[in-house]
Amino acid sequence: MAQTQSASQTPVLAASTAPRWWSPILGEIVGVAKEPRGLIALVILAALLLFAFVLPVFDSTDPNFILREPKNLSPTISHPMGTDHLSRDLLARNSVGLQRTIINGLGAVIVGWLAGIAIGYTAGWRGGVTDIVIMRGVDTLLAFPGILLAIVLITIMGPGLFSVGVAIAVFNIPSSARLARAGVLREREREYVLAARAMGASGRRILFRHVAINTFGAFTVQLPIAVVASVLTMAALNFLGLGDKPPSPSLGQLLLDGSRFMRDAPHYVLGPVVLLALMMAALNFLSDVLSERLDPVRRRAV
């Protein structure tokens, strides 16, 4: 009787311990946090996300509202980051500016990488004339400096947030396309691909079910670096006056406005500079840790 009851309970216990979809992600985050640089990166990124998305929920200050305070006021208890040249709260403006930078920058990078990966996969898998034509177009884009290409696109479409997003997306296509093509060229001659072809698998199934999975590690390592370059490019475009128009806050616009008052109000530019520096450092640390964790030689040694 005891044996029957134990056997009947076994499937229930097995089902209750079934892995969830978020288990690999959580395990990877824990693995990154075990490294000192990874822990620093995660803490900084979490703090930046809280500052950008949680602070505006609890702080109801309108970033465009002109306060009854002195202009270029130094940091105080009521205004921890001071006020700008129009007596607007810099804490609220920096928070919203970082939020817009994260949303627009990350969104543009993802769109550009998806387009570039699709282009690279097509070129690498089909080869021949298709590969030559596609990659010559990619090389043409690479011939232009990224910031110059972005300025040309914004000049054609007109200044604005949408134009900056399109420019950042196009800016990310060449590098992601070359990375995807290199991964496909490396993987398509492996034994598992030949075995899948021998078993009658279609080319599309082999590409997306086998080859794409084995090229994912390179994208994971390079994505933080791409976000770094894109955020800096977006800030530079806003600094040049090609992005959001006032009074919309952005980190680049805050740098542009604050550069005129650096002598009398250095706190004006300190906020966006610190936020950008922390984001750059955290993403670079994260990329280094991911590169080490995905290195097959290092993993075998461990």
Closest CA relative to residue 285, chosen from 37, 109, 87, 20: 37
Collapsing DSSP states into helix, strand and coil, what is residue 22? coil
Would you state the pLDDT for residue 22?
62
Would you state the pLDDT for residue 212?
83
Would you state the pLDDT for residue 7?
46
For domain 32-61+86-301, which CATH number applies: 1.20.120.330, 3.30.420.40, 1.10.3720.10, 3.10.310.30? Answer: 1.10.3720.10
Would you state the pLDDT for residue 19?
54
Q: Please list the ranges in the chain whose pLDDT falls under 50.
A: 1-18, 297, 300-302
CA 15 → CA 2, 12, 98, 242, 266, distances in Å?
A: 21, 5, 43, 55, 60
DSSP string, 152-217: HHHHHH-SSHHHHHHHHHHHHHHHHHHHHHHHHHHHTTSHHHHHHHHTT--HHHHIIIIIHHHTHH
Most distant CA pair in the chain, distance: 86
Per-domain boundaries in the chain: 32-61+86-301
Q: How far is 246 from 111, CA to CA, in rounded Å?
A: 26
Would you state the pLDDT for residue 109?
92
DSSP string, 260-278: GGTTT-THHHHHHHHHHHH
Beta-carbon contacts of 107 under 8 Å, excluding residues fewer than 6 positions away, are: 165
- Name the phi and psi angles at 243, rounded to 5: -105, -135
Q: Which two tokens stand for residue 291?
A: 């590169």
Would you state the pLDDT for residue 12?
45
Would the pTM count as exceeding 0.85?
no
- 158 φ/ψ sector (left φ>0, alpha ψ -120 to 50, else beta): left
Q: How far is 121 from 127, CA to CA, in rounded Å?
A: 10
| Sign of CA pseudo-dihedral 231, 235, 238, 242 | negative
CA 71 → CA 37, 67, 76, 77, 150, distances in Å?
A: 40, 9, 13, 16, 34
Would you state the pLDDT for residue 24?
67
